[in-house]
């Protein structure tokens, strides 16, 4: 084959390859990478078929659409509690919607839009366990499981030093430990616990009253004010058009939780905000 023939073959191969390359990026360009929990039923769950479901997923998808990214241009990245700040700072995700409580310490590293949900820390125990009635029962050497780097784990360390706190990478691992009798209770936010309780009817129960207030925000790179304003406006629109309540009822209603009034997103939180 002559050099000229090779040029024609090369051009033909390139012409075929280019459409596939463009398609891989999606119509709007590169994929939008969103951080999400993969193991929280009702909030952020990766299903056996690879699809994502949950209230946080619906919030993240709605925001993405308002930013110009349809659902097929979203790439989900698992974001365990202890890795969220690093994922944002390194640019591996554009933003994170993963039961991410707004706290002063975190606001030193990332910015938050929101809040988009307010809940509180509670306790999950086995259905036949009557020895734990709430937070007041935690000072008797009970074996309590939470997730490394999470707000609930930090609160337990600070306020309930008499607890044998065991920290796992995921809440699903904590729930498995509870099933097996390796721990006496699991603690995190009530909406998360409700999802696990609903997943195994009759096996677990939530006890006591919530003993904190957690304000979930959407975490993004510190100082990215332009994106933060756009995300905040998207959250306001989601609440105003009824999509927020519909998402809550669809994902958390089956767990027996009544949709509260949605919190008013009050801008972009930075260090020193409430």
Question: What are the sequence ranges of the domains in the chain?
Answer: 32-119+215-269, 121-207
Distance, in Å, from the CA atom of 149 to the CA atom of 155, rounded to the nearest integer, reads 11
Q: What is the pLDDT of residue 254?
A: 83
What is the 3-state composition of the chain as percent helix, strand, coil, each rounded to the nearest 5?
40, 25, 35
Predicted TM-score (pTM) of the model is 0.78
Q: What is the pLDDT of residue 52?
A: 98
Q: What is the pLDDT of residue 150?
A: 87
Task: Please state the CATH superfamily assignment of the domain spanning residues 121-207 in this structure.
Answer: Periplasmic binding protein-like II (3.40.190.10)
Distance, in Å, from the CA atom of 252 to the CA atom of 271, rounded to the nearest integer, reads 31
Q: What is the pLDDT of residue 86?
A: 96
Q: What is the pLDDT of residue 269?
A: 66
Q: What is the pLDDT of residue 51?
A: 97
Quote the radius of gyration of the chain (alpha carbons, Å): 22
Question: Which residues have a Cβ under 8 Å from the Cβ of 47 and sit 6 or more positions away?
Answer: 53
Distance, in Å, from the CA atom of 231 to the CA atom of 113, rounded to the nearest integer, reads 6
Distance, in Å, from the CA atom of 8 to the CA atom of 5, rounded to the nearest integer, reads 5
Report the candidate in 198, 216, 188, 191 with the shortest Cα–Cα distance to residue 122: 188
Distance, in Å, from the CA atom of 12 to the CA atom of 246, rounded to the nearest integer, reads 50
Tell me if 158 sits within 8 A of 105, measured CB to CB. Answer: no
Written out in words, the top-level CATH class of the domain with range 32-119+215-269 is alpha beta
Report the candidate in 130, 101, 129 with the shortest Cα–Cα distance to residue 114: 101
Q: What is the pLDDT of residue 270?
A: 61
Q: What is the DSSP string of 103-149?
A: -TTGGGTEEEEEEEEEE-EEEEEETT--S--SGGGTTS--EEEEETT
Q: Do domains 32-119+215-269 and 121-207 have the same CATH topology?
A: yes
The two tokens of residue 38 are: 């993969």
Q: In a structure prediction context, what are the per-residue pLDDT tens digits for the chain, which is 274 residues long?
A: 544 444 434 444 344 343 333 333 333 358 999 999 999 999 999 999 999 999 999 999 999 999 999 999 999 999 998 899 999 999 999 999 999 999 999 999 999 999 999 999 999 999 999 999 998 888 778 999 999 988 899 999 999 888 999 999 889 999 999 999 999 999 999 999 998 988 888 899 999 889 999 999 999 999 999 999 999 999 999 999 999 999 999 998 887 788 989 999 987 866 444 3
Distance, in Å, from the CA atom of 69 to the CA atom of 94, rounded to the nearest integer, reads 12
Tell me if 174 sits within 8 A of 81, measured CB to CB. Answer: no
Three-state secondary-structure class, residue 95: strand
HSE at residue 54, side-chain half, CA atoms within 13 A, is 27
Report the candidate in 165, 210, 171, 213 with the shortest Cα–Cα distance to residue 190: 210
CA 137 to chain centre: 28
């Amino acid at each position: 084959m002559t050099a000229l023939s090779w040029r024609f073959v090369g051009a033909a191969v390139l012409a075929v390859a280019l459409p596939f390359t463009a398609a891989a990026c999606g119509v709007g360009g590169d994929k939008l990478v969103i951080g999400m929990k993969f193991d929280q039923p009702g909030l952020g769950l990766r299903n056996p078929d690879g699809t994502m479901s949950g209230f946080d997923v619906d919030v993240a998808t709605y925001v993405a659409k308002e930013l110009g990214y349809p659902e097929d241009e979203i790439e989900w990245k698992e974001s365990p509690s202890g890795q969220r700040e690093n994922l944002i700072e390194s640019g591996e995700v554009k933003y994170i919607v993963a039961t991410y409580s707004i706290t002063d310490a975190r606001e030193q590293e990332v910015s938050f839009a929101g809040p988009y949900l307010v809940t509180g820390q509670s306790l999950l125990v086995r259905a036949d366990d009557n020895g734990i009635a709430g937070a007041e029962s935690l000072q008797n050497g009970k074996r309590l499981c939470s997730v490394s780097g999470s707000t609930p784990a930090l609160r337990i360390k600070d306020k309930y030093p008499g607890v044998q706190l065991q920290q796992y990478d995921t809440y699903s691992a904590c729930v498995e430990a509870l099933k097996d009798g390796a721990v006496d209770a699991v603690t995190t936010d009530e909406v998360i616990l409700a999802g696990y309780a609903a997943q195994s009817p009759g096996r677990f129960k939530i006890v006591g009253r919530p003993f904190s207030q957690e304000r979930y925000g959407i975490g993004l790179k510190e100082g990215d004010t332009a994106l933060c304003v756009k995300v905040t406006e998207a959250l306001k629109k989601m609440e105003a058009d009824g999509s927020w309540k519909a998402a809550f009822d669809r994902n958390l209603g089956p767990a027996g939780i009544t949709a509260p009034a949605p919190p008013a997103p009050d801008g972009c939180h930075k260090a020193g905000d409430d």
